[in-house]
Amino acid sequence: MDRRTFLAGGATLASAALGMTVPAMGADGLRYGPEQAFSFDGLMAQAEALARAPYVPPSTAFKGILDQLDYQAYGKIHFNSDDALFAHGPGDFPVTFFHLGQFFQVPVHLYAVSSAGRKGAEAREILYSPAYFDMPADSPARKLPSDAGFAGFRFQESRLGNQKEKPWRKNDWVAFLGASYFRAIGALYQYGLSARGIAVNTAVAGVSEEFPNFTHFYIETPTGNNPTVTVCALLDGPSVTGAYRFTMTRNKAVLMDIDAAVYLRRDVQRLGIAPLTSMYWFSETVKPTAIDWRPEVHDSDGLALWTGAGEHIWRPLDNPPSASAAAFMDENPHGFGLCQRDRNFDHYLDGVYYDRRPTLWVEPLAGWGKGSVQLIELPTDDEINDNVVAMWVPESPAKAGSRYRMKYRLHWVADEPFPSPLSRCQATRIGRGGQPGKPRPDGVRKFVVEFSGGPLKTLPKGVFPEVVITATRGKLSWIFTEPVPDGVAGHWRAFFDLAVDGKDPVDLRLYLKHDDRPLSETWLYTWHPI
């Protein structure tokens, strides 16, 4: 008799003696609650009803114990993959669960959803048990009650794939953990930035940001062996509720089709749809002396925009001296994303593979109307802090009682899925202005913007592209272009000096052209004078 059979039999005998009803034990060894009807329409109705009721914050009954599960103690707790949902099928991808801890204190309800039959789909809650986890004998987690709950879950790599290269028990490809955060690996098999279900009042002066929680997840039982899985989720927070359906496909990269219905309990000053969260500390653009031994540290190096009017824009990320917000007005955008364009390991030299971090692109699947892609950048002095947010903010005020239905696709990839046919920005470098061999003037900065590929590769010999540049204030000078002397066709750089007084930021806009024909995507940058 194995461990799970013994536990099931023992529980049944004890309950029979006491006249109690016990949870059902599945063939996979997991404990389940009773069946209940489930549909996405029903989940949307539940979210809408929640929005009309007062918010009930999650319990903090276990906070004292969970605070003891710091990074070190939490790292010693491991889910036993033998107990994974779908460990033996159906489908390709087993599901494993996260334990609660110091940084993940809100338990979530996880359900396995059967395939819809004549009576429709049925959901059964997967009940927590400490027996699912391997943990030290002295772990604070052992003080938790037997029904403490899970913190989240993840899909492992294919159990039918190459187990020598990617054993499913040691490799996962998508994870939902903490508030409404989730993330996936890209084509380079590396995690990096995260996405969220919703952003509420991010970087609004005098207003605390809210972090609504996915409180219930419904994991659909797959049919057959295919690369697609489906999960539904219920969102709840002080100002917003929602129902989400994630249809996720694992191929070379990861694609997620998201259908979201969001309901507002109360007014929100900045409502962020399809928010992306990343980290940018420093790069070749600006690096204080001896701040770190590595040349660059960032999960993403720029925001790419494909506007509704068809313009391709590149905005390098920044680590500003104070919180900064930029809004790029648009109507029915084609997409936007936080990207990691620099794939050269020698530019990072670390052991955590920043050169492999995924690019995350948002593709609207229906017209989003008027609004803006907003970029929030916060100062940071370490790589442990996510300090960049990009999101879509509708133009209409987000008032209590409002309802939003959004459909979009997330591409977790190595490169933008819809790259511009024009030359792309490869690097932005900033230094002291003026000419070599002469005293460098105060208050002057030199900018060098590199472009490569596209029409620049076919530019006739001897023809130099023209710089088109504007600045919201200050004086521009020493504007010219030159080919980068590396022998690579189509690799050019634009130079200009900017002289400004005062500390107010300066918005810069630049692109290359020839014969009134644009050659490059548009480069935007906000300079914070030192």
Q: Give the pLDDT confidence of 1-40 residue by residue, as tens digits.
A: 333 333 333 333 333 333 334 456 565 679 999 999 999 9
DSSP, collapsed to helix, strand or coil, labels residue 72 as: helix
Distance of CA 495 to the CA centre of its chain: 34
Task: Show Cβ contacts of residue 345 under 8 Å, excluding neighbours closer than 6 positions.
Answer: 355
Tokens 């506007």 sit on residue: 307
Q: Are 335 and 373 in contact (CB under 8 A)?
A: no
Residues 233-263 pLDDT 10s: 999 999 999 999 999 999 999 999 999 999 9
Query: Residues 6 or more apart from 6 whose CB is under 8 A from it?
Result: none
Q: What is the pLDDT of residue 410?
A: 98
Q: Where are the strands (E) in 62-168, listed by range? A: 78-79, 95-98, 109-113, 121-127, 133-134, 152-156
pLDDT of residue 437: 80
Tens digit of each residue's pLDDT (9 = 90 or more) over 315-367: 999 999 999 999 999 999 999 999 999 999 999 999 999 999 999 999 999 89
In the chain, domain spans: 31-413, 424-527
Least confident of 44-58, 211-225, 366-380, 430-444: 430-444
Q: How many CB atoms lie within 10 A of CB 158?
A: 19
Q: What is the pLDDT of residue 442?
A: 86
> How confident is residue 430, by pLDDT bands cut at 50, 70 and 90?
very high
Going by C-alpha positions, the residue among 370, 398, 366, 109 that lies closest to residue 262 is 398
- Phi, psi of 354, rounded to the nearest 5 degrees: -60, -25
**What DSSP line would sit under 488-501, residue for residue?**
-TT-EEEEEEEE--
Coil, helix or strand for 128? coil
Q: Is the pLDDT higher at 165 or at 289? A: 165
The pLDDT > 70 percentage for the chain reads 94
pLDDT score of 178 more than 50: yes
> What pLDDT, in 10s, does the model give residues 261-272?
999 999 999 999
What pLDDT is recorded for position 378?
96
Per-residue pLDDT at 116 exceeds 50: yes
Neighbour-count burial for 58-80, b at 16+ CB within 10 Å, e otherwise: eeeebeebbeebeeebbeebebe
* H/E stretch holding 449: strand 444-452
pLDDT at residue 118, as a whole number: 55
Contact 84, 94 (CB under 8 A): yes
pLDDT at position 22 is: 46
Q: What pLDDT score does 115 carry?
A: 73
Is the pLDDT at 90 greater than 70? The verdict is yes
244 with 212: CB under 8 angstroms?
Answer: no
Q: What angle do CA 296, 301, 306 make, to 5 degrees?
A: 165
The span from the CA of 307 to the CA of 373, in Å, is 10
Token code pair at residue 352? 């955590």
Scan for tokens 């690097």, then name that residue. Answer: 427
Distance CA 44, CA 243 (A): 5
What's residue 23's pLDDT?
Answer: 57
Among left, alpha and beta (phi > 0; psi -120 to 50; other), residue 375 is beta
Residue 397: asked if its preceding bond is cis (omega within 30°), the reply is: no
pLDDT at residue number 16: 36
Cβ atoms of residues 432 and 446 within 8 Å = yes
Predicted local confidence at residue 440, as pLDDT: 85
* Average pLDDT estimate for 496-516: 95
Please report the pLDDT score of residue 286 as a whole number: 84
User: Which of residues 23 and 126 earns the better pLDDT score?
Assistant: 126
Mean pLDDT of the chain: 92
Cβ neighbourhood burial of 343 (10 Å; 0-12, 13-18, 19+): middle
At residue 441, the pLDDT reads 87
Write down the architecture of domain 31-413 according to CATH: Distorted Sandwich (2.70)
- Determine the average pLDDT of the residues in 208-235: 95
**Architecture of the domain spanning 424-527:** Sandwich (2.60)
Q: Which pLDDT score, from 0 to 100, does residue 4 have? A: 36
* Residue 435: pLDDT band with limits 50, 70, 90: confident
